[in-house]
Amino acid sequence: MKVFSNIISYLLHPLFIPIGGTVAYFLITPKYTPLEVQSASILPIFILTVIIPIITFLILKNIGLVHSISLETIKERKYPLYIHASILLLILYKVIPNNYVSELYFYFTGLLGAAIACILLLLFNFKTSLHTVGISGLLMYLINLSIHFEINLILAISVFIIFTGSIITARLYLKAHTAIELIIGLFIGLLSQLLTVRFWL
């Protein structure tokens, strides 16, 4: 069970949520999108949300500001979350407007809102489950896309419901979070995407 919990925690790491939603959009959308536009969105988003955070984490670890990828303490979480929010803001201002796609724009707006909520909770010494925030946000985004494009995504949505339950179970088993931290993370993820729906759905 411990091996499974660790594997699911790494595979569904919040680091992959921004690029996961981006790829999901281009796979799902019935709109014609030139390959150049897809590449101009996917590649920079991958670099900004996966490559740069990994490099930044290694730098923070070397200078002693973080000690593990789990970011176990509130103090360790501050700088990665600040960097994450800054990167999402950069994507909203520089990457997506160049190939404006409203569905993606508001997806990243929701991700930014969730990151800010997690930062604000840190001020109250509350450690939200970033894994749960990420996977539940992506789940709600898939539901929104299904309604928006009137496409049956029940299989994908079902899989992500299972993923959400799996990550909650894994984080509890590993004692990485308390039940309330996971529940709050779940609500932040769902609401951050749900609140943007009125602007594009």
Burial, 107: exposed, middle or buried (Cβ in 10 Å; 0-12, 13-18, 19+)? Answer: buried
Q: What is residue 87's predicted lDDT score, i.e. its pLDDT? A: 95
Query: What residues does each domain of the chain span?
Result: 2-200
pTM of the complete model: 0.91
- What burial class does residue 80 get, using C-beta atoms within 10 Å of its C-beta: 0-12 exposed, 13-18 middle, 19+ buried? buried
Distance CA 15, CA 12 (A): 8
pLDDT at 98: 64
pLDDT at 37: 79
Answer for the pair 101, 41: CB distance below 8 angstroms, yes or no: yes
User: Does residue 195 sit in helix, strand or coil?
Assistant: coil
Q: For position 197, what pLDDT does the model report? A: 86
pLDDT in tens, the chain (201 residues): 777 777 888 888 899 999 999 999 999 988 887 888 788 889 999 999 999 999 998 888 888 887 777 777 788 888 889 999 999 999 999 888 766 788 899 999 999 999 999 999 998 989 999 999 999 999 999 999 999 988 999 999 999 999 999 999 988 888 878 899 999 999 999 999 999 988 877
